[in-house]
Structure 1
Amino acid sequence: MAPNHNGPAIGHSPASPRLSALLSWTAIKDTVSQPGEERAKRLLALLLLFQRAAYLALLPIAIIAAPEDAYFNSHFNLVLLGVAIAWNVYLAYVTLKQGWFPIHLVWVDTAVIVGLLIVASLNMRDDFVFGGMNWPGRLAMGTVALIAAALPLRHILVAWVFVVAARFGGTTLRVGEFSPPFEEFVGVLNAYIWFAIVFYFLRYHLIAQGRALDALAQNQVALEATKAANQARFDERIAQHRRLHDTVLTTLTAIARGGLDYRENAVRARCAAEADYVRRLICGAEDEGPGHLETRLSDTIAQAETLGLRVHHQHDQLPDNISPALVDALCGAVMEALNNVVKHAGTHEAWVTATVDEGVVKVRIVDRGCGFSPPLTEFGFGISQSIYDRMSRYGGYALVDSEPNCGTIVELACPVSTDARALL
């Protein structure tokens, strides 16, 4: 797959207006943090710019070391060098700011190097026109590499021919005939061909890898989103199952066992409230807000008492900043514990106390029923999900302590805030 050339820039990362800042180590580290395809193009752009910088750094030394008679006009040669340096600084600034070489500037760079190749050759004396003193020939290798790395395939050959023609056309105009030394001719063609081939394949290799990494990242994001959605649906189903288990199922079980008289007003009111809950569940409507913890605990105990249980309730001044979800979890766990007293304890009396200590809410449910042996008992959905799992989801815990013929104690504890979790 070919890289995208439909826009002047691949990236739009903010950049400092100073070239020194753009070339800083921080800018290079920021490049590594980009997405795959954009990172590949930025790294390739840096490689091409460093190649040009290496050529430009050596040019002043070569010109200073050149014989005085190498150029017809040495001052004009310095002007040409200044034009080359200024253009490359501008090209580097725009490229680093936008993240890639704008297509129109690649063609401008081609035109600049073509002009330098011709004009600089005309300013050279015959003895030096084919040698290393004709410095635009070195910069032309950077242009060839840029052409192969940035232009569409159908344009590469055209631009490459312009550069090669200018390289030999300038010397031909100067000496009046096409007579480059054989080694010079072969060496230039070999360098220009191989620079074009290497950067063409480097471009596709890096960008293909970048696109593959982007595809993997997108797939990972999609997978995580799917997992999160599935987990949210699972959590919602579990919450609904808990509510149904703690309310409707418990009421129906008590009526079926003959422990409740459905003709009593309290039982009928409970059934009506639970029917409303099931109706909202079917219609997809949101459940009623949980309200303050004290109010919800009182409502929960009142519901338990409709099952024929007498509950002694005592609590401290409970905070009003407890999240609705935590209120719902605590009261749901209390309801399940009281339901278990009705169904399994063989007693009609229970005690509920609620306290707050250093940001941790603790609720204790006690009965003096028949009890059981926890190590020998396999807990069902009620204790495992409605009590244990509810508390653990909010950073709290649940303890069930019981012995045969000695009653049962269920203790629930949960931090009001995240900072209070360290106390548990």
Structure 2
Amino acid sequence: MASEAPQPERGASFLVTLLRRGAPALATATSELADEVGDPTPVRALRRISKIAGPVDSAHRDGLLLRAARYVAVVPLVYRLFAVPGAFFVFLATHHGSGAFAVGVIALLSVAFSAYGVWWLLRSAPFKPRGAARLIVVDVAFTLLSPVIIALSVSHEAYADALLVPAKQLFGEVALLTLVLGIPSGLALAAAGFPVRLLATWLGTGHVDVSDAVGTYPAMLGVMFTAGGALVMIGLGTRLALAYGIRNGRLAERAQQHRQLHDTVLQTLEAIALGGTEDPARRLTEVRRLARAQAMEVRQLIENASADRAEAGSRPLGEKLAALAAEMARDGLRAQLVVAELDEDTLSEVRQIAIRDAVREAMRNTMKHAGTDKVVVRVEERDRGIAVIIRDHGTGFSPDTAPAGFGISESITARLGEVGGTALVESSPGSGTRVTLWVPC
């Protein structure tokens, strides 16, 4: 009869989980994340930290965070790349011949393992936990065997200085295990290193020196404390950043939904309210046409918004604006589009979509308020970016006296601001309106 699978540990503190399991526990950072963590309202630091370190679902695994967590292992590996050769050169300075070859081989193998580990972590191939486990096992075995090999290969007089090389390797390995597997693993390696150090001391000097073995542990505990502190800072900082990101993402999504309602349903209702022909039959036909068109647009937004955006994203900016001009022409606005020769690859898709949506809103404002059915849209490179100028010769308005409109502040300015761009609206009564949009390349 198969044994029952262990129940997932739920409600454990994020801080405790992090210290017990190491950097992979970062994958739980998005679970059980209270809204208070990302609340920008000022609170006492300890209160916010207690919220960040609150309960998590240890069964939760965020794949992206799990893949990113492996990069913390680069730090102790890089430390070994410098510390081990440094200890070897110190040994060479005082012992030119006795055991230099064996110590050099240990140092070279340590550098090779560390360099391979850095390459393996930073390579583009998919990360495989089983492969990482094998590498750690080999690295730990080498770390524990290296002081014994040194003891068997150097003279009694050179033993103490030679042992600095595997000591640096051990310090780096303790930090590595603490970061990637948690404090218990780091402590286990430190404990395993004690009898190995006693054995090496006996082989290297002919007697057992407990004080010599114990003397290395203050420095080793300091390494563990530093690695554990770094792990805590990375974990708490990551969780706080995620909380802020989730909160801001929700606000951005809400703003986008508001803009979509403004640019679709509200526009249609306003068009219906403005009225048109006095013929009731023609008016009823026009209202039905607007209602059908609006129903189709809302259905697309609800059911297939992401697919629509991906399809639009396959076209360059000029084609997006040409399609927009055709869309506006169906509603009675004639747009003259002038597009300079652009390098389409210089402008990201997100910025192209922001420009297109802002131009749509500016053209709809022209259609509703300018008293003209003509508009000129010009696209050009300017100030290391792309500028789009929407110009009409309608009635215009006074920006100082006009009320703050949602269409300008949210649908135009906010869209450009979200992608690092700017929007300038210039108008005066009787002189028309010029809207200048700019985004960096």
Question: 1:83 and 2:112 equivalent?
Answer: no
> Among residues 214, 233, 237, which one is paired with 1:205 in the alignment?
233
User: 1:8-407 maps to which residues of 2 (within 5 A)?
Assistant: 42=71, 44-67=72-95, 70-71=98-99, 74-97=100-123, 102-129=132-159, 131-135=160-164, 136-180=166-210, 182=211, 184-247=212-275, 267-277=279-289, 279-280=291-292, 284-286=295-297, 321=337, 329-333=365-369, 360-363=391-394
| Residues 120 and 134, structure 1, Cα contact 8 Å, conserved in 2 | yes
Structure 1 unaligned blocks of 5 or more: 11-34, 252-265, 301-317, 338-351, 366-373, 401-409, 420-424
Deviations, residues 182-233 of structure 1 (Å, cap 9, x unaligned): 3x33321222223223312321222221232123223222221122112321
Q: Which runs of no fewer than 5 residues in structure 2 stay unpaired?
A: 1-13, 28-63, 299-323, 339-358, 379-389, 414-422
Please list the CA deviations of residues 157-206 of structure 1 after superposition, one character each: whole Å capped at 9, or x if unmatched.
332222232222222244454235x3x33321222223223312321222
Asked if structure 2 preserves the Cα contact closer than 8 Å seen for 1:247 and 1:274, the reply is no
Q: Given that residues 37 and 208 in structure 1 are in contact (C-alpha distance below 8 angstroms), is that contact kept between their aligned partners in structure 2? A: no
Displacement, 1:76?
3.4
Give the secondary structure class of the aligned counterpart of 2:156: coil
Q: CA deviation at 1:274?
A: 3.8
Q: Which amino acid aligns with 1:270?
A: R
Aligned AA (1:222): R
Q: Using the alignment, how far apart are the partners of 1:223 and 1:386 within structure 2? A: 16
Question: Could you tell me how far apart the structure 2 residues matched to 1:275 and 1:36 are?
Answer: 51
C-alpha distance in structure 2 between counterparts of 1:47 and 1:143, whole Å: 11
Normalising by structure 2, report the TM-score: 0.54
CA distance in 1, matches of 2:295, 2:408: 27
Distance 1:94 1:186 in 2: 34
**Letter matched to residue 163 of structure 2:** N
Name the TM-score, length of structure 1 as normaliser.
Answer: 0.56
Does the CA-based 8 Å contact 2:376-2:392 persist in structure 1?
A: yes
**C-alpha distance in 1 between matches for 2:91 and 2:77:** 22
Query: Could you tell me whether the CA contact under 8 Å between 1:137 and 1:167 is conserved in 2?
Result: no
Q: Which amino acid aligns with 1:218?
A: I
3-state DSSP of counterpart to 2:216: helix
C-alpha displacement at 1:326, in angstroms?
Answer: 6.7
Deviations 1:67-93 (A, max 9, x none): 45743xx43343333222322222232
Residue 354 (structure 2) aligns with: none
Distance 2:115 2:209 in 1: 34
Following superposition, the deviation at residue 246 of structure 1 comes to 0.9
SS of equivalent residue, structure 1 residue 205: helix
Change (3 A) 1:165 1:413: same
Percent identity, aligned pairs only, is 13
Give the conservation status (yes or no) of the 8 Å contact 2:197–2:213: no
Contact 1:148-1:156 within 8 A present in 2 as well: yes
The answer to whether the Cα contact below 8 Å between 1:362 and 1:411 also exists between their aligned partners in 2 is: yes
Flag the 1:79–1:137 CA change in 2: closer, same or farther, 3 A: same
Distance 1:388 1:179 in 2: 79
CA contact (8 A) 2:391 2:434 kept: yes
User: Residue 256 of structure 1 corresponds to which residue in structure 2?
Assistant: none
For the residue of structure 1 that corresponds to 2:154, the secondary structure is coil
Per the TM alignment, residue 116 of structure 1 is displaced from its structure 2 partner at its CA by: 0.7
- 8 Å CA contact 2:23, 2:231 repeated in 1: no
Contact 1:106 1:150 in 2 (8 A): no
Structure 2: which amino acid aligns with 1:148? T
Instruction: Supply the distance in 2 between the matched residues of 1:242 and 1:224 (Cα, whole angstroms).
Output: 25
Judge conservation of contact 2:393–2:433 (CA < 8 Å) in 1: yes
What is the alpha-carbon distance in structure 1 between the residues aligned to residue 140 and residue 377 of structure 2? 77
Q: 1:411 to 1:152 in 2, by over 3 A?
A: same
**1:329 CA displacement:** 4.9
How far did 1:241 drift? Answer: 3.3
| Residues 242 and 386 in structure 1, CA contact (< 8 A), matched pair in contact too | no
Query: Over aligned residues, Cα RMSD in angstroms?
Result: 5.0
Give the match's secondary structure for 1:241.
Answer: helix
Q: What SS does structure 2 have at the residue aligned with 1:132? A: helix
**Distance of 1:53 and 1:187 partners within structure 2:** 24
Deviation at 1:117, TM superposition (A): 1.1
Is the Cα contact below 8 Å between 1:37 and 1:214 reproduced in 2? no
Q: Deviations over 1:249-278 (max 9, x none)?
A: xx7xxxxxxxxxxxxxx7244333244246
* C-alpha deviation, 1:121, in angstroms: 1.0
Matched residues in 2 for 1:96 and 1:40: separation? 12
Q: Which amino acid aligns with 2:393?
A: K
Distance 1:207-1:413 versus aligned 2 partners, 3 A rule: closer
Instruction: Summarize the Cα distance change of 1:234–1:122 in structure 2 as closer, same or farther, 3 Å threshold.
Output: same
